[in-house]
Structure 1
């Protein structure tokens, strides 16, 4: 049986540390606390008076990388909650594959030659 099955259906969280601390503060004074639940690292805090929550990962290296990304998003004010409509648009796959300048120029010249002769 899992812990939350014997705990009345609750899945307990416990304090955890990443990058040497439990609480991390961004340059714009947002505090992010690190927790563990079901052997996964979680980040919790408040951003613009709204709850901030993100699952960071199960191993310390990838969770630390995700925490750094999250802190950068919060500092740059680009963090979006998963329920935000803009976040849903961001998660969609782009319909056009990105090209380098050389690839774009090659495609353009090939298209021009096909159409103009």
Structure 2
């Protein structure tokens, strides 16, 4: 699964949990979300990619009481099936939900090891760099 996923946890700030195979996912992330940084829920097709943002489906909040957002850049071929936020929540979120459940309540930002373990040992699962 090739995607970039940035979110925050209960006590840790915004991080890339999946890097889409990029050494530095920030430029691709910034291109996908350019001009829509403040939209709480959104869908946008950018070439062969889809940018999605939606609030945590389980209404999990950070320590400040804010609902946690999920920013996802979905690459082709999976992006071909995502045509709305609802499609993203139905198709993409189930691929991430279990990993997030394991990570969101950590008392510190997830390490590379935490990320690999959360996605069942996938060594390309992402990084713990700040967004």
Query: TM-score normalised to the size of structure 1?
Result: 0.34
- Give the structure with higher Rg (CA): 1
Greater relative contact order (Cα 8 A, min sep 6): structure 1 or 2? 2
